[in-house]
Amino acid sequence: MFYKTELQLPQYPATGPYSFQVSYSFRGNRKRGLSGDLKLDGRIGSVMVDNRFATALVIGSVLSLLSSVYLSVAVGTDAWYEYRSPPAFPSTDGTGVANGNGNGNGNGNASELRTLRDDFLGGGEFDEKMDSDALYRLNGTLGLWRRCIVVPTDQHWYRAPDPKLVTECVSFSLQNQFTPRYREPGNHNSEEDILRTYLWRCQFLLPLVSLCLVLLGAVIGLCACACHNLYPTVATGALHLLAAVCTLGSVCCFVLGVWRLQDLSPLPHGVGGAVGWSLCLAAVSCPLQAMAGALLVWAARTNRKEYCRMRAYRVA
């Protein structure tokens, strides 16, 4: 008695998926009826990209694009943190402005507010204390690269019942971004606040690093598509995960820095602060980058396993 096994696998082109058929032929003593054929039908994944992997790649690419747009808009705008000052009204004695209940001690007198506006827009040396006071009292907004205040166009705005307001912005120079922060804001003779200094530097550097990582991942992904090889997209996914960590770090550094500044320089009475829509966009881009990275890594690794399994079938 002898047995003979035949494995028949046709050579498939690099697209699919395809069905295959394995035939086992047993040859024995015909008198004892031991001859016959056993056929097994099955499915095997494609050599390159299955539908599941293609769907994951498309969804991951869309999420990556959305996160990049959100983060770019967030970096370029100045609504990361917004201050809401009480409205200014003429006081009954004519010496200042009153707050909302008319007691005359709200957010300072008119000459003080005009001085704050002129100093803020004067373009002189960066003074954190002066900038903070202007943002507090003039409905300011703070971003990564600009700070803005809302000022009236009329010189005698405090006398007008409904003055016309405009937004004036001043950009942070690169030197301002690396300027040390002090424990007493605006006092250069005080001790340097190391924590706030590095929080401020990280909050504007980390978004740029995140965008660069996403761009590098996109270049690697395009090269992988050009080479008809999905496995290098593992690096693309890993870079997106690192970009998500950088974006999250930037958001946390900004929030902690603002809270630390408000501890050292408290908000005036009646002034409130809240996160702006730019910070919300940056916060939303973080999970989008993480989901894009996870999908890309899963698609590349799973497709690699399927490819190795099919190669093992061919060798057998």
pLDDT, mean of each 10-residue run, the chain (316 residues):
44 45 43 38 41 82 95 93 77 43 46 80 80 89 91 63 78 88 84 91 94 94 81 89 96 94 88 92 95 90 59 50
Contact between 97 and 103 (Cβ < 8 Å): no
Reference 214, options 80, 77, 70; nearest CA is 70
Q: Where are the domains of the chain?
A: 1-44, 51-315
Q: What is the pTM of this model?
A: 0.73
> What value, to the nearest 5°, has the Cα angle with vertex 264 and ends 206 and 119?
85
Asked whether the bond before 17 is cis by omega within 30 degrees of 0, the reply is yes
Sequence-ordered alpha helix ranges (H) in the chain? 51-76, 110-121, 128-137, 174-177, 194-226, 233-264, 277-315
Q: pLDDT value at position 52?
A: 75
Q: Residue 152 gets which letter from DSSP?
A: E
Q: pLDDT value at position 269?
A: 84
Reported residue count of the chain is: 316
- CATH number of this structure's domain 51-315: 1.20.140.150
Give the pair of three-digit tokens for residue 66: 């959305």
Q: pLDDT value at position 162?
A: 64
